[in-house]
Amino acid sequence: MTWAEVCAIPWLKDIPAKIETNNQNKIIMSPATTWHGDFQGEVYHNLRRLMPEGRALIECPIDTTDGTRVPDVGWISRARWLPHRRSTSLPIAPEICVEILSPSNTREEMLGKMLLYYAAGAEEVWLCDEEGVLEFFAKGRSESVAVSALCPDFPQRLDVE
């Protein structure tokens, strides 16, 4: 099943959850929460403010080797964006992919998603925990780095109070 076919399923349009697929055409859903959406908005706002030369995207579907995965927020350069801006899903990952962690996420699951994003072309993956603290990871490095190389002024903690 293609991502366009998943998007065309009428009853999926009203589900308040993030939807992804795996390489076995199984649909994976994560329920939405208000605090999660708040963090998404803060990451998006900061990326737009600090990196206006590209596009910040909320829940951008990416074609990966394990189905369509949807980071909570992404930042993509104009050069990457322009050829695919009307696509149902991106054939190449944004340079930055951000995941907002929830209690149901495991570290192993997130590391697996990071590898998928890197294989699809991401240069950095950021993880944001339930307190708004960010960890920055760069392609080719197994440990987090102190700051993002692509967006060094991004705050290490989101202020959502």
156 part of a folded domain:
no
Range of the domain at 57: 33-138
Tell me the percentage of the chain whose pLDDT exceeds 90: 66
101 part of a folded domain:
yes
**Domain count of the fold of the chain:** 1
Question: For the segment 17-74, what is each residue's pLDDT rounded down to a tens digit?
Answer: 777 778 877 877 777 678 888 999 999 999 999 999 999 999 999 999 999 999 999 9
Here the CATH number for the domain that contains residue 43 is 3.90.1570.10
Cβ contacts of residue 91 below 8 Å, gap of 6+? 63, 84
Q: Are strands 67-69 and 54-58 parallel, antiparallel or unpaired?
A: unpaired
65 part of a folded domain:
yes
122 part of a folded domain:
yes
